[in-house]
Amino acid sequence: MDAPIPLFDTPLGRRRLARARAGGYADFLLARTIEDLEDRLAAVLRTFSRALDLASPMPAAAQRLAAGGRAGSVLRLAPVPEAADGLLRVVGDPESLPFAAESFDLAVSLLALQHVNDLPGALVQLRRALRPDGLFIGCLLGGRTLTELRQAFAAAESEIEDGISPRIAPFAEVREIGGLLQRAGFALPVTDTETLTVRYPDPFALMRDLRAMGLTNILTERRRTPLRRATLVRAAEIYADRFADPDGRLRASFEILWVSGWAPHESQQKPLRPGSAKARLADALNTSEIGPDSTPAERSQR
């Protein structure tokens, strides 16, 4: 049986990230997530002996971890070659981790995992690389990211070219990512989401920022012919018509999915076995219990 075609062209993604970094990486999203990461780690009342930065697009997160004193040592798995700056690093792929089991007690990953072809497999490898009671915390772009741009291009292509081509990658949904953590063997998984709205003078400024973050189209099944000028101009018109604020600036949404989970350990809290409760919820709430055999009159009294 032939292997399935990967969703993303990973070598192309690396080349585009390297080009973005060489031309001046647009770091506003990454800077925001680094601040949020520090806030989230502040709630964890422990230090870590060895931390991993898993393929964040720039080394800033690893540098902040190393400077903050929360980790004894920090190793960075860099997605592309980087200049030496005192950090321990190895260039690698989050889908093929070059680490022994139980190598780290903290792993972080910012804005990297949305372009992984086998996200469940990558999470399994990451969980194995964590020591028992080790923590993973990270974020990736979610399903509502760039919804305005997607709608504008879909409408323009339908109008001018009588069809829609895949231009923007499908992103993970928050309801799915928690299940993936559980499948990978993480305990106490937590997910949450926030949407950041960035405003631009025109759609072309947004597209320049996407290139400067290495976030242009790397779908394997992307259309290989150049975008027609008429389609691009019409997409820009639709974007401005539908998503402009009163001052004329255009909104662009970036949904950030935050995920965390722990490598299992016997000291962690565990859910009670169904039916093992020793007190009734109705008693705790000082109310009467309505069972499946209750009469309509009994239910109406509630």
Say if residue 213's pLDDT is above 80.
yes
Q: Is 237 exposed, middle or buried (0-12, 13-18, 19+ CB in 10 A)?
A: middle
Q: How far apart are CA 77 and CA 94, in angstroms?
A: 8
Determine the pLDDT at residue 226.
81
Determine the pLDDT at residue 266.
82
Q: Mind listing the domains of the chain with CATH numbers?
A: 10-146+170-197+254-264 (3.40.50.150)
Q: How far apart are CA 95 and CA 104, in angstroms?
A: 17
Return the DSSP state at 203. H
Better-scored residue on pLDDT, 283 or 110? 110
For the chain, the C-alpha Rg in angstroms (whole number) is 23
Determine the pLDDT at residue 294.
57
Q: How far apart are CA 215 and CA 110, in angstroms?
A: 14
> What DSSP assignment string belongs to 44-112?
S---EEEEEEES-SSTHHHHHHHHHTSEEEEEEEESS----SS-EEEE-BTTB----TT-EEEEEEES-
pLDDT above 90 covers a percentage of the chain that reads 69
β-pairing, 71-78 with 48-54?
parallel
The pLDDT confidence band at residue 284, using thresholds 50, 70 and 90, is low
- Residue type (1 letter), 161: E
Number of residues assigned to the chain? 302
The pLDDT confidence band at residue 253, using thresholds 50, 70 and 90, is very high
Beta pairing partners, 218: none
Q: How far apart are CA 72 and CA 252, in angstroms?
A: 39
Determine the pLDDT at residue 209.
97
Q: Write out pLDDT tens, residues 6-46.
A: 888 999 999 999 999 999 999 999 999 999 999 999 999 88
Q: How far apart are CA 30 and CA 60, in angstroms?
A: 8
Tokens linked to 285: 């709430």
Say if residue 55's pLDDT is above 80.
yes
Q: How far apart are CA 22 and CA 17, in angstroms?
A: 9
Q: How far apart are CA 84 and CA 63, in angstroms?
A: 12
Q: Write out pLDDT tens, residues 222-252.
A: 777 788 899 999 999 999 999 999 999 999 9
Determine the pLDDT at residue 171.
75
Q: Write out pLDDT tens, residues 104-148.
A: 999 999 999 999 999 999 999 999 999 999 999 999 999 899 999
Q: How far apart are CA 62 and CA 85, in angstroms?
A: 11
Say if residue 256's pLDDT is above 90.
yes
Tokens linked to 57: 């697009």
Q: How far apart are CA 296 and CA 280, in angstroms?
A: 22
Q: What is the mean pLDDT of the chain?
A: 89
**Mean of the pLDDT values across residues 77-99?**
93
Q: How far apart are CA 142 and CA 195, in angstroms?
A: 9
| Dihedral sign from CA coordinates of 179, 181, 182, 183 | positive
Say if residue 199's pLDDT is above 90.
yes
Determine the pLDDT at residue 183.
93
Q: Kindly compute the dihedral angle of the four CA atoms of residues 3, 109, 129, 259, in this order, to the nearest 10 degrees.
A: -90
Say if residue 73's pLDDT is above 90.
yes
Determine the pLDDT at residue 176.
87
Sheet with 88-91, strands from edge to edge, namely 88-91, 71-78, 48-54, 104-110, 130-141, 250-262, 187-200
Return the DSSP state at 286. T
**Distance of alpha carbon 19 from the chain centroid:** 22
Say if residue 1's pLDDT is above 60.
no
The pLDDT confidence band at residue 198, using thresholds 50, 70 and 90, is very high
